[in-house]
Amino acid sequence: MTTSLIVANWKLNNAVPEALMLVAGIEAHMKESPNVEVVVAPPFTALYSVGVALSDGTIKLAAQNIFWEEKGAFTGEVSGTLLKDVGCSYVIIGHSERRKYFGETNETVNKRIFAALRNGLVPIMCIGETLEEREGGHTFDVLEKQLKNGLATLQIKDLEHFAIAYEPVWAIGTGRNATSEQIAEAHHFIRNLIAKLYDAPTANGISILYGGSVKPSNAKEIFAQPNVNGLLVGGASLDAKGFCDIIAQSPGQR
Ligand code: PEP
């Protein structure tokens, strides 16, 4: 049984007291399993406190972004060194909200991935098409461009500890998740393209997550799709019981 990776993206939610209550709730409801890796991504301001609270357990800590320089005159930015310092082991990179609202491009995604790897952080690289792109028949062109440019100049060894999240933009926070067929098709495309760009063992070693309106009621079906190795969960991860109900649907828990 391969390990499922389940990541909670809290986005811009939870001050320190709420963040601590939420992780305590997850720890209380979650059934531990060696076949499931659970990761939470609080906002930067709660990383340290949540990291301390998690230090004796199995849940891992992720940041929601990383800057590509290590230090210096970059007001408002947070480096990989600082993320390691507060206990992060993963980092979400290129989320569609960053691409849409903050000018993130495939090129900046690539720089951030290098910064993550330099600091021993596992990148969770987000890709996905908009509704317009899907309806225009461009989904696979978009995914290919995001992957090729985002992964530019990365070597096989860089992909040893790596996750890619397929998140159709039209499914994020909308309550409308992709169909099983759409998920299976996109995940197959991603795995195949990595095999072509690198090799089959590298492609098989990468965790490909689905994200977009995952909830307890649809998690089991999504997990059952081929090439789905885990989930990136936004809104539904803000409720401890609901998030643990999603975790309980993973093949590693059933
Ligand atoms: C996300 O933030 O990556 C996400 C998938 O959000 P939601 O689950 O709310 O659609």
And the tokens for 122? 């596992």
Q: How far is the CA of 122 from the centre of ligand 1 (A)?
A: 19
What confidence tens digit (pLDDT) does each residue in 171-211 have? 998 988 899 999 999 999 999 999 999 999 999 999 999 99
- Cα distance between residue 166 and residue 186, in whole Å: 8
Nearest CA to 21 among 40, 2, 35? 40
Q: How far is the CA of 234 from the centre of ligand 1 (A)?
A: 3
Q: What is the CATH number of domain 4-253?
A: 3.20.20.70
- Tell me the one-letter amino acid at 123: P
- Tell me the one-letter amino acid at 41: A
Instruction: Supply the residue whose CA is at minimum distance from atom 2 of ligand 1.
Output: 234
And the tokens for 21? 């209550």
Q: H/E element holding 122?
A: strand 122-127
Q: How far is the CA of 71 from the centre of ligand 1 (A)?
A: 30
Q: At how many degrees (to 10) do helices 180-197 and 216-223 cross?
A: 50
Closest ligand 1 atom to 95 CA: 3
Known catalytic residue at 181: no
Q: Looking at residue 252, what is its pLDDT?
A: 72
Q: Looking at residue 118, what is its pLDDT?
A: 98
Nearest CA to 43 among 94, 5, 8? 8
Domain boundaries, the chain: 4-253
Nearest CA to 210 among 240, 233, 181, 191? 233
Which candidate in 95, 97, 129, 133 is catalytic? 95
Instruction: Supply the residue whose CA is at minimum distance from atom 8 of ligand 1.
Output: 234
Series of mean pLDDT values for 10-residue runs along the chain (254 residues): 90 98 95 90 98 95 98 98 98 98 98 98 98 97 98 98 98 91 98 98 97 96 97 98 96 73
Structure pTM? 0.97
CB of 226 closer than 8 Å to CB of 184:
yes
Known catalytic residue at 95: yes
Q: H/E element holding 254?
A: none
